[in-house]
Amino acid sequence: MAVDLTRIGKLHVGLVGATGGVAYATHWMEPGSVVLGGAVMGANFVLLRWIAGFLRPGALDPAKRGRVALAIAAVVLKFGLFLALLGALFWRVPVEGMSFACGVTLLLVACVVEVGLSDSRMRKGAG
């Protein structure tokens, strides 16, 4: 059983919502910045999935080598676009940096949790 990217996405949304709710209730972090950080990483994750989905069918087919170059160009374009948007966001919108960083790291947390759960499911199936 492989790691399921859809489950990672759902877990990420749940973590962002829960952390935003806790931040709102406790006033320990700025909830808008937490949710914004999670939304930025969620959008990044979705775009990378789309690019990978476009690349995967023709990656090994010699007749579709242009697809690989197009996918690489899309990744570079996505990176530049996100860098520009984040720069504009931090200069124009009052974002609390540590809360934003907390929201950003929730995707990594979702990935680590899903890998651990996937490993646990594999061990139960093998044992």
pLDDT (0 to 100) of residue 3:
76
Nearest to 83 by CA among 123, 122, 40, 42: 40
pLDDT (0 to 100) of residue 87:
87
pLDDT band for position 5 (cuts 50, 70, 90): confident
pLDDT tens-digit series, residues 93-118: 888 989 999 999 999 999 999 999 88
pLDDT (0 to 100) of residue 35:
96
pLDDT (0 to 100) of residue 91:
87
pLDDT (0 to 100) of residue 111:
94
pLDDT (0 to 100) of residue 107:
96
The answer to whether the CB of 58 falls within 8 A of the CB of 64 is yes
Name residues whose C-beta falls within 8 Å of residue 91's C-beta, 6 or more positions apart in sequence: none
pLDDT (0 to 100) of residue 2:
75
What span, in angstroms and rounded, lies between the C-alpha atoms of 74 and 17? 29
The answer to whether the CB of 36 falls within 8 A of the CB of 102 is no
pLDDT band for position 9 (cuts 50, 70, 90): very high
pLDDT tens-digit series, residues 22-70: 999 999 999 999 999 999 999 999 988 888 877 766 656 666 667 777 8
